[in-house]
């Protein structure tokens, strides 16, 4: 397992320099940029529904159904066929004018549409995304071992995070953006002006200790409408416990862990115990 790397500060990261800054600070919580605001599934689904209805009334009547990562739809192959970009070596869709920092959504329609021209691949010999991956989850160009991906480990995995990946997680408590932050094409990425995606509850600057203190009621109330809420308070604490184990040792970190050491969840207790052992190892003799 590689030491936890910080994406190189290059031109590509400038639109999201705050992300690199958060990764540089091991006392802060790192949350994938897409999850700082409102759940994109809801925002995008509403916009797609409105667009499909506008087509129905203003252009041609059609049968349709909209999707936003809400069904087993092969989004990236469809996006490639739609001429929106090419599949990068990190497996995400890349667009020459937008990089990869955007959401995908689909409208299935009964209308007959002419297929656009596909884009050529423009990754060349670049392997930045492969080289930076903290857990070596990108096992080759266009090949991802999802079982190693920090996004999977912190969001989809319901059980204990494998010990061999915990140090590599660093301060990432929900998702990971490293492969995108180093991608040269993301110098063209743009922040959305849509207010729904603005950071909420200080999630872009919160410390690990602050978030670890949230009760389940705090979690549910503050993350209402957020994609983070779906992992639940238990896995939220699990993820933060790992990050606290990776944080510089301090009285506040150790006190926070002590307060959760007797948590009712065995999953939380195990990760807290691991973090406390890591903190003990970091303390000077």
Whole-angstrom distance, CA of residue 253 vs CA of residue 285:
18
The DSSP element (H or E) to which 175 belongs, if any, is none
C-alpha to C-alpha distance for 94 and 81, rounded to whole angstroms: 13
- Residue by residue, DSSP assigns 103-169 as ---EEEESS--PPPPPPPP--TT--HHHHH-TT--EEETTEE-GGG-HHIIIII--SPPPHHHHHHH
CB 173 within 8 A of CB 136: no
List residues bridging with 31 in a β-sheet.
174
Q: Which helix (H) or strand (E) holds 83?
A: none
CA atoms within 13 Å, Cβ hemisphere of 5? 19
Active site residue 69: yes
Q: Which of 24, 25, 39, 69 is catalytic?
A: 69
Strands (E), the chain: 30-31, 64-67, 86-87, 93-94, 106-109, 138-140, 143-144, 172-174
> Which residue numbers are catalytic?
69
């Amino acid at each position: 397992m590689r030491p936890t790397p910080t994406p190189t500060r290059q031109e590509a990261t400038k639109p999201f320099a705050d992300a690199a800054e958060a990764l540089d600070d091991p006392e802060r919580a790192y949350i994938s940029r897409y999850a700082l605001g409102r759940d994109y599934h809801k925002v995008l689904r509403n916009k797609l529904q409105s667009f499909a209805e506008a087509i129905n009334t203003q252009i041609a009547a059609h049968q349709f159904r909209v999707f936003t990562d809400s069904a087993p739809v092969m989004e990236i192959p469809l996006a490639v066929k739609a001429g929106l970009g090419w599949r990068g070596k990190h497996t995400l869709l890349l667009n020459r004018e937008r990089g990869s920092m955007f959401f995908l959504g689909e409208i299935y329609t009964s209308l007959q549409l002419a297929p656009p021209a596909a884009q050529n691949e423009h990754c060349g010999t670049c392997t930045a995304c492969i080289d930076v991956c903290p857990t070596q989850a990108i096992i080759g160009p266009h090949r991802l071992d999802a079982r190693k991906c920090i996004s999977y480990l912190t969001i989809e995995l319901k059980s204990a995070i494998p010990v061999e990946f915990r140090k590599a997680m660093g301060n990432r408590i929900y998702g990971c953006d490293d492969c995108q932050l180093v991608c040269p094409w993301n110098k063209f990425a743009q922040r959305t002006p849509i207010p729904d995606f603005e950071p909420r509850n200080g999630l872009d600057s919160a410390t690990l200790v602050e978030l670890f203190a949230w009760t389940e009621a705090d979690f549910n109330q503050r993350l209402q409408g957020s994609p983070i809420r779906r992992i639940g308070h238990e896995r939220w604490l699990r993820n933060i416990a790992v990050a606290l184990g990776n944080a510089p040792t301090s009285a506040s970190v150790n006190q926070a862990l002590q307060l959760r050491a007797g948590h009712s969840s065995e999953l939380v207790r195990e990760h807290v115990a691991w973090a406390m052992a890591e903190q003990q190892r970091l303390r000077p003799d």
